Structure 1
Amino acid sequence: MSQSFVFRTIILDTQTLRTAVRPGSSHLPPLLICNGIGANLELVLPFVNALPADLEVIAFDVPGVGGSSTPLLPYRFGGLARLMARMLDYLNYGQVNVIGVSWGGALAQQFAHDFPERCKKLVLAATSAGAFMVPGKPKVLLRMASPRRYLQPSYGAKIAPHIYGGTFRRDPELALEHASKIRSGGKLGYYWQLFAGLGWTSLPWLHRIRQPTLILAGDDDPIIPLVNMRLLAWRIPNAELHVIDDGHLFLITRARAVAPIIMAFLEEEPKRAVMHPPGGLARAS
């Protein structure tokens, strides 16, 4: 599965980043993936494999995750967005399309806002606007606050149905398979990621994100209730919302169903940004 990727470890000042590029020949800009909290890049490979083989894809481990070094001091999302731009410079990329998953969705929003010329289109999957989100159940959030599921795969497999929902509720083998791909960066890296999002919110500037935006939500997501995705779709001027019949990790569990939706969006000609009317939240298609 990894043979089609070119893995590189790059150094930007004191920060080491592990990157993976799947070369492609498509006319579309490369797709840059911002992964979820604690998630190493191998976890998104099933999704990448569902995309057309000619689409160039860039994945990386954020600081403190997988094969990337853990910084002495934590980054905030603004600093991570700048680091991501420097990574693209190092790898010789200009403009990209960006997909952000869960925690990575916040990073993707920040990047699209801070570097609009580098981000052509934006895909947000199972994410929120940050501090002002409608939270999931307290028991789920408490489990998410600890890196234990990444440090102990057996524990991760045990709680997967409760925190991820959807297909994970019905398929115990899937939870074990997912846990087997985890490459933990350690407790500190996980806590640094939590710190990046402490008090962060995109709500005041979501209306300034002008890129065409596809928002994907699971209808059985214990971590990010659907109303949060509706809020994003309402506040981002040129956004469309698709609701997937699955849980938080639908990008993996429903990869072959979701990939065509994303590709159709990436292939679309850009539309003029229009603010959504203030009368209500955007409807799901």
Structure 2
Amino acid sequence: MTQPFVFRTINLDGQLLRTAVRPGNLDVPPLLICNGIGANLELVLPFVKALNPELEVIAFDVPGVGGSSTPTLPYRFRGLAKLIARMLDYLDYGQVNVIGVSWGGALAQQFAYDYPERCKKLVLAATSAGALMIPGKPKVLWRMASPRRYLQPSYTVHIAADIYGGAFRRDPELAMSHASKIRSGGKLGYYWQMFAGLGWTSAHWLHRIRQPTLVLAGDDDPIIPLVNMRLLAWRIPNAVLHVIDDGHLFLITRAAVVAPIIMGFLEEEPQRAVMHPQAV
């Protein structure tokens, strides 16, 4: 039976972080979710519900989003990775598996790189290597530059098909359901998230990420063209690419398909080398 989430707001030297933990007892490290730009943790709950109910899950609102306070000064991904490590200390977690979605994929890469001992496996969904990415269409990027879709639900419904692609092109009700779960932290928090990624790239150190990595991409993603995910899978030594027949938010729209893929990856044990194989 699925355990309910335990919501807590913790104080890390004045920075309030809203967290949600779903307890579990599966024999794998908990799964930490780094969400997309402007996205509060409620938006990933449909995906979490599709995972094995025994898997422990940790979600949080980054500073300036949802129920977390907005800092006075902007931050960078390295500072956010350090904040995640402190959050895990506070919640009494050692090693975790990490999934990063879109903007959160950059944060997940940074955390895996800066704190390799705390990240056992890495899942990157609909994300890129940052500033050196192959960009989406200018119209899509222009709309992404504004927090308006998180402030006006009607606007979200209006542009969802164009910016998210995939199932959102075929089912208008998906946009209404998505918009109903949004809890905006305000314009400043959104702009701080954009600043965190300004000029950031992982391209020059992707080859140093040693964690087993699952790269998930949508084949109809207007925000992150598929070539970016192929680049990640090519540059990360222990990576495998899986392409999903959907758009940018396939983690939600195709949760029933994606969740088993992720669970299989998290539960898979690495094969030991056979030093002296027996002849058969």
TM category, shorter: over 0.9
Q: Give the aligned partner of residue 278 of structure 2.
A: none
Please tell me whether Structure 1 or Structure 2 has the larger radius of gyration of its CA atoms.
2
The residue type paired with residue 179 of structure 2 is A
CA contact (8 A) 1:164 1:221 kept: yes
Secondary structure of the 2:128 match is: coil
Q: C-alpha separation between the residues in 2 aligned to 1:209 and 1:148?
A: 35
Q: For the residues of structure 1 that align with 2:143 and 2:256, how far apart are their CA atoms?
A: 29
The letter of the residue matching 1:7 is: F
Q: Is the 8 A contact 1:116 1:211 kept in 2?
A: yes
Equivalent residue runs for 1:1-285 within 5 Å = 4-270=4-270
Gap runs ≥5 in structure 2: 273-280
Aligned length: 271
Query: How many Å separate the matches in 1 of 2:143 and 2:53?
Result: 36
After superposition, give the CA deviation of every residue in 1:164-197 in whole Å (9 maximum; x if it has no partner). Answer: 0000000000100000100000000000000000
Structure 2 CA distance for aligned equivalents of residues 41 and 171 of structure 1? 23
Q: CA contact under 8 A between 2:99 and 2:123: conserved in structure 1?
A: yes
- Report Cα offsets for 1:8-49 as digits up to 9, x if no partner: 000000100000000001001000000000000000000000
* Aligned-residue offset at 1:3: 7.4
Provide the TM-score with structure 2 as the length reference. 0.96
The offset of 1:254, in angstroms, is 0.2
2:97/2:121 contact within 8 Å kept: yes
SS at match of 2:121: strand
Distance in 2, matches of 1:24 and 1:253, equals: 24
Amino acid at match of 1:262: I
1:270 Cα offset (Å): 2.6
Mapped partners of 1:84, 1:224: distance in 2: 25
Could you tell me how far apart the structure 2 residues matched to 1:98 and 1:271 are?
21
Runs of at least 5 residues in structure 1 that lack an aligned partner in the other structure: 273-285
**3-state SS of 1:207 partner:** helix
For 1:161, the aligned partner's letter is A
Post-superposition CA distance 1:86-126 (Å, at most 9, x none): 00000000000000000000000000000000000000000
CA distance in 2, matches of 1:206, 1:270: 21
Partner of 1:59, secondary structure, is strand
Q: CA deviation at 1:267?
A: 1.0
Q: Normalised by the size of structure 1, how large is the TM-score?
A: 0.94
- Secondary structure of residue in 1 paired with 2:204: helix
- State the one-letter code of the partner of 2:263: M
Q: Is the 8 A contact 2:11 2:17 kept in 1?
A: yes
Tell me the distance in 2 between the aligned counterparts of 1:19 and 1:35: 12
Distance in 2 (CA, whole Å) between partners of 1:214 and 1:271 is 16
